[in-house]
Chains A and B, each alone.
Chain A
């Protein structure tokens, strides 16, 4: 077996729970996030945004703002002199600064840089924009109708069938077999329509950057992002700069959940800086975050499933219609791939439609597309179980995908953990705990692909034998700790001998963004290989010192050893000893690894939840919550648990209270945390995490991504619990009190 594939082993450090290395800075307030950096001579940026959902920009008069004392630059789209060739970069540009028209409430139309925040704000008020208001559409089903206002003509892909408006830009299809024939064999077929509201990632740190760009095209950006390489490449592409001339440094990041895998305003800061000749800090307000950075898609869905009395699913179809917002490119295809991924089905077909609307450009949100894909499927399966009097866990086990199953989206699965999560759920005390009046218990499964992708890691052995590890992925939830642990494990040194930093874009090759639950898997893989590379060099140095063949040297416990009696009798050389004489044996020692990582290993979870519904008000309270998920190998179990708990909490918010509310005028009515209701501490119970470890064959330690799957099952799990206790099937998210009460009263 090649050494980089999974091998079962006993770990020394991996699987323990050390204190994270960046912890002290974060509990003392020293850690520097996006808005915490300053530069000499720095100006404050601010962005003027459209108050209209859809409007032609007839003219912009910036003269009064420019004349104000302390105002150093005012820009509009005219200051973005480069027009990118690729459609996707042109979209990013237009989203950062509107061209001919404002496409949504909150769309940027101008920006200023001034010597203080208050002057910058006052200058925005002095800019006069003449708008020609256009008809708008913010609802996905409305936007598909042939006579809907069109956001942008000419973007429809060839595979979109006739009969829709030009807002429908893409369609995707997946599946195999003949679902109609499958339905014929069923004892019961249920078809239902579902809707989900747009939700925001809701990270607590608003987007922020500090940017500088000179007339020579050299620039620097300090930014809170999930991917500083992505920021560099996108800014360079949008502004026509050379990527190598831009150096981007990732700040500490206060949450992202996919929302910081995009560029929203960094090019604006660069252009302001170029025009003013000074560094510019641009920090979005919470209102701007809600109005202008991507929420996830809202959706309209039809699902049909047929089941036999014994619980086997005979056929299944789903149609997903997802908002893309103001530009093409939604995640409907991911929904179409994920919906039935947990099940072994003979006859299955899904399709996804991408629909433009007058809303902010939809962005990735934790397992993008998967939560709204699982919600209707898991709801209908639950209803079939109710009506056929079947056990919902047993029924899911009966249909569960296993090693060798052909997934509904194409590939054949290697070893996967769905069955293990279902069995763990069956044997957990939660499953048999008694329920009280108005209480219900729901279960649901969820799937996420997990990504790999471009990754670079450098591992330097310092002259004193300590280790510096450079990686290129912002650490959102403790990944530096995990990298240090894997490096120390592989090198055989103590954890405190390794320090991991997030390098800037000039210090390592290309790295994909921190998304798709890729970091612990892909960066971990590259870390282990970089460590192996360094070990190889250190073995050579020991061999040289001993005058033997490098093949005759073994590495264990942080030291080189002669491989056996034939290799010669030498005392082991520790990493410190090898490092100390590196200058005499060939120079500094460093390992590195560059890879497009594959084999991320898909992930499954089963969630179980108890809710209580107030029959007089429709209010839903979550009483008990348990997450069962496969982690492959939990490198730092505390942070794996944290991912399970955090994803579940976000899913609970999505299920019960979170939603983008648009008025008749197409404006967002709740761009703040008071009325965009994310769960607060008193809303939630403890969330019990149950970690299962089914090793990923594609990683040397068996690691799989764990970050996203946990947001997939909660929507359906809660809907199932509430539907069971209130004897009515709830088919629209969020299950806010007015909706639940109306459903219970049958109105």
Chain B
């Protein structure tokens, strides 16, 4: 099967890979690049566990062909912390127990990072609707929403 050659930027690093035309960005991240932090909960855009940011926009990596990544800039959960400095959202999720099994957590963190970059002062309702495509079956969302609201307040205070 002929492969396509793609050059893209992932978490700031120029990355080159070969893939089949029908492989998704999620397939390539997980199976070719060992970036298994993005999860596949459904493969059909329903759960948000594969959330990544492409050129500043939040998308499902399972609904993007890997070939489309050519020349783009992709951010995944693996790029969220700066070395061993956690992003404030990561730190707050730990402190406020905003995860149980944790499988939805990478997607939710990536999604909320993108939210706070666009809207540093979201209401609870805005956070809930922004995250409607990120399913969590463990927590009932309560502690997640609180952690996001709390981080937003902290980050506004620090800015």
Please report the C-alpha to C-alpha distance between residue A256 and residue B138 in the assembled complex, in whole angstroms.
Answer: 9
Q: Does B100 contact A (CB under 8 A)?
A: yes
B101 to A203, Cβ gap below 8 A? yes
Q: Which of A27, A117, A672 interacts with B105 by CB under 8 Å?
A: A27
Question: Given A648-B140, A687-B140, A28 and B90 touching (CB < 8 A)?
Answer: yes
Q: Is the CB of A478 within 8 A of B94?
A: no
- Per the 8 Å Cβ criterion, residues 110-159 of B in contact with A are 125, 127-129, 131-146
Indicate if A128 sits at the interface (CB-CB under 8 A): no
Q: How far is the CA of A649 from the CA of B30 in the complex (A)?
A: 30
Which residues in A have their C-beta under 8 angstroms from that of B35? Answer: 29
B127 to chain A: closest residue by CB: A681
Q: Are A682's CB and B101's CB within 8 A?
A: no
CA distance A120 to B32 in the complex (A): 17
Report which of B31, B106, B135 forms a contact with A29, defined as CB distance below 8 A: B106
List which B54-94 residues lie within 8 A (CB) of chain A: 76-78, 80-81, 86, 90, 93-94
The complex places the Cα of A35 from the Cα of B50 at a distance, in Å, of: 13
Assembled-state Cα–Cα distance A686/B139 (Å): 11
Q: Count how many chain B residues have C-beta atoms less than 8 Å from C-beta atoms of the other chain.
A: 61
- Tell me the interface secondary structure of chain B in the complex: loop
Cβ of A28 and Cβ of B78 under 8 Å apart?
A: yes
> Which one, A59-67, A84-92, A407-415, A637-645, is touching chain B?
A637-645
Contact B102 A35 (CB under 8 A): no
A646-B86 contact given A206-B40, A476-B101, CB 8 Å threshold: no
Which A residue's beta carbon lies closest to that of B86?
A: A27
Among B37, B38, B131, B139, contact of A646 (Cβ-Cβ < 8 Å): B139
CB atoms of A674 and B39 under 8 A apart: no
Inter-subunit contact B78/A476 (CB<8 Å): no
* B6 at interface by CB-CB < 8 Å: no
A-B pairs under 8 A by CB, number = 182
Chain B contacts of A432 at CB under 8 A? none
Instruction: Tell me which of A247-255, A322-330, A394-402 binds B.
Output: A247-255
Docked-complex contact B20 and A206, CB < 8 angstroms: no
Q: Which residue of chain B is the closest to A649 with respect to CB atoms?
A: B140
Q: Verify if B44 is at the interface (C-beta below 8 Å from A).
A: yes
Whether a CB of chain B sits under 8 angstroms from the CB of A673 is yes
Does the CB pair B138–A672 fall under 8 Å?
Answer: no
Report yes or no: B102 in contact with A254, Cβ–Cβ below 8 A: yes
0 or 1 for each of A471-486: is its CB under 8 Å from B? (1 = yes):
0000011100000000
From 622 to 658 in chain A, residues with beta carbon under 8 angstroms from any chain B beta carbon are 638-639, 641-642, 645-646, 648-650
Tell whether, in the assembled complex, residue A20 and residue B103 are in contact, meaning their CB atoms are under 8 Å apart: no
Alpha-carbon distance between A30 and B106 when the two chains are bound, in angstroms = 10
| In the assembled complex, B9 has its CB within 8 A of some CB on chain A | no
A254-B103, A642-B97, A686-B142 are known contacts. Are A286 and B43 too (CB-CB below 8 A)?
Answer: yes
| Residues of A with C-beta under 8 A to B132 | 680-682
With A28-B37, A681-B136, A684-B140 given, name 10 new contacts (CB 8 A): A27-B102, A35-B39, A203-B103, A204-B103, A255-B101, A286-B43, A477-B100, A638-B97, A642-B97, A680-B135
